[in-house]
Amino acid sequence: MNYIADSYDVAVIGAGHAGIEAALASARLGCKTIIFTINMDSVGNLPCNPSIGGTAKGHLVCEVDALGGEMGRLADAATLQSRMLNRGKGPAVHSLRAQVDRRRYSTLAKHTVEKQKNLDVKQAEITDIKMTEDGSWILTTMLEAQYICKCVVIATGTYLGGRIYVGDVSYEGGPDGLFPATRLSASLKELGLPLRRFKTGTPARILKSSIDFSVLDVQKGDEPVVPFSSDTEIPPENVVDCHITWTNDSTKQVILDNIHRSPLYGGKIEGIGPRYCPSLEDKMVRFPTRQRHQLFIEPCGKDTEEMYLQGASSSLPEDVQMAFYRTIPGLENVKIIRTAYAIEYDCVDPTAMCASLEFIDFPGLFGAGQFNGSSGYEEAAAQGFVAGVNAAHRVLGKNPFILDRASSYIGTLIDDLVSKGASDPYRMMTSRSEYRLILRQDNAAERLTPIGRELGLIGDKRWEKFGRMQALKTTELERVRKLTVSPSEHNNEVLKAAGSAVLSTGIRFSELLKRPELNYGNLAEIDTDRPDYPDVIFEMVEVEIKYEGYIKKQEAEINEMRRLEAKKLPLDLDYGTIAGLRLEAREKLNLVRPQNIGQASRISGVSPADISVLLIWLSARSGGER
């Protein structure tokens, strides 16, 4: 028999990376919050790769941290090895990636939510969700307890309707051998949410002592280690190495000989898989002329012998997995601890939500993470933070918290999801942003910490530190723009050694920094009175000076984008009534229901001509109102 267990301002369903950020943000903003998890030992779990960050994903972690979120602090505390990816490319794509101890990360995450004021943690499976006549929500657990909540954030990850596939074997299940959430799917469908099926996969975990490391390439961490979080006073240390190996023709042959046993190619899996992180068998089929594929062998933690095979996910039968893994150099005698598997799960069409991640037709209901059709821990954390803040703001009677595309990768991620939808699991990449030179990882704090402070999630200590760093940057910019370098014999010798043109007249130091071949490092003998500032100050100043012209160009593009964003569209507008819109545009606009002209312009199927029609309609409507 059902009974009323308690009532809350905000309830979060799921305690993965999205749920953690949502619950912490809501509680820290003063709302009475509860977070539900199927298993308390899976809070903050990393069921796939034991790492945080990566290309574009590192940007997201730093942005979440700058706003007052938790992922960066957790990652720094659990780091085993840290690397800055894409160092050989421009600063816009430099991305931090940390190999982390997955058990320590999970333990720290669990303890963080347990200690948080205003937040209750509950092991329970939510089986039913209903909206009441007064606009509140009732959540029912498997044990028939009911919780009355003003707002709900759904962050179910891959648990929702989860089904595991290994060859011919298929069964209901969640990640890492945990239970799935099966009944909630039916309740959400009954509610009217547009659910669909996606799938993802994970590689085998193998025994460290069964690997021949002597034939593998060693991949060491970067020194010095750069932390994700501005709160991390002592940077993490590199305490482990990772290794690299490659597939070969024998690997390919074993997989192709058994491709008919793959549930993916046998038609058993209905869900759509990730385009940018395919299984090993998918790689062999999609890229038939490729000679080999790179694999990374990464430790799962300091206190375990499990190693993770990054790039080798599979849903082939266990015997086939053993056969093809053993064709790979270094893995000839490998022992599998955890067999690779694919998991199929329910998620929602994110175009049913606003940019606040609240469902358009269900006030007080929010979605975040893989439930929204994305992939990745970092994408989940970013959405969880935004959903948690907005759930709290709704309870507190505050305006929605919305980040636009020009402010952050978080804004780009959410705008892509709610405007364009996700035909396959969405993965953040730097190429998805039109403004990536402005949205760099190194200036995430500068862009977003003032917003986090305004939200109330950046404390005094952090804010004072931010102010000091900004003052140092401003002072250094003024210094290099005033400093004159003379054409002395010494200075010209330094420039020659760096492969740069010599001076015939005096020049500002900032003009030297604009030269592609010059930087603070090779100009040190010229700039002998350089102040003793943290390295990050010089990095930020150098980027700002080198790319000043490009940055100004992007800022002009941003101003135009925001001009269109300011032109609001009614959410209840029937686009079928607007003459001049093409049929496809009417259908897409009625489906997405954009909040403004800028968002409408990014919807697939809406042309520039359609946007012109909308602008004319808005102008006429505005004139009529006057």
pLDDT digits (tens, 9 = 90+) for 350-387: 999 999 999 999 999 999 999 999 999 999 999 999 99
Question: What topology is assigned to 566-625 in CATH?
Answer: DNA polymerase; domain 1 (1.10.150)
Separate counts of helices (H) and strands (E) for the chain: 19, 22
Second CATH level (architecture) for the domain 3-156+182-200+345-446: 3-Layer(bba) Sandwich (3.50)
Question: What's the token pair of residue 85?
Answer: 């990816």
On whether the 476-551 domain is CATH 1.10.10.1800, my answer is yes
Topology alike, domains 3-156+182-200+345-446 and 205-341: no
Instruction: Provide the whole-model pTM.
Output: 0.94
Question: What's the token pair of residue 154?
Answer: 């759904």
pLDDT digits (tens, 9 = 90+) for 483-501: 999 999 999 999 999 999 9
pLDDT band at residue 139 using 50, 70 and 90 as cut-offs: very high
pLDDT digits (tens, 9 = 90+) for 217-249: 999 999 999 999 999 999 999 999 999 999 999
**Structural domain boundaries of the chain?**
3-156+182-200+345-446, 205-341, 476-551, 566-625
Find the DSSP H helices in 246-352: 249-257, 280-286, 318-325
Question: What topology is assigned to 205-341 in CATH?
Answer: Elongation Factor Tu (Ef-tu); domain 3 (2.40.30)
pLDDT band at residue 626 using 50, 70 and 90 as cut-offs: very low
pLDDT digits (tens, 9 = 90+) for 312-350: 999 999 999 999 999 999 999 999 999 999 999 999 999
Question: CA of 466: how far to CAs of 229, 303, 408, 443, 458, in Å?
Answer: 12, 36, 18, 11, 10
Buried b vs exposed e over 462-501: b needs ≥16 C-beta within 10 Å? beebbeebbebbeebbebbeebebeeeeebbebbeebebe
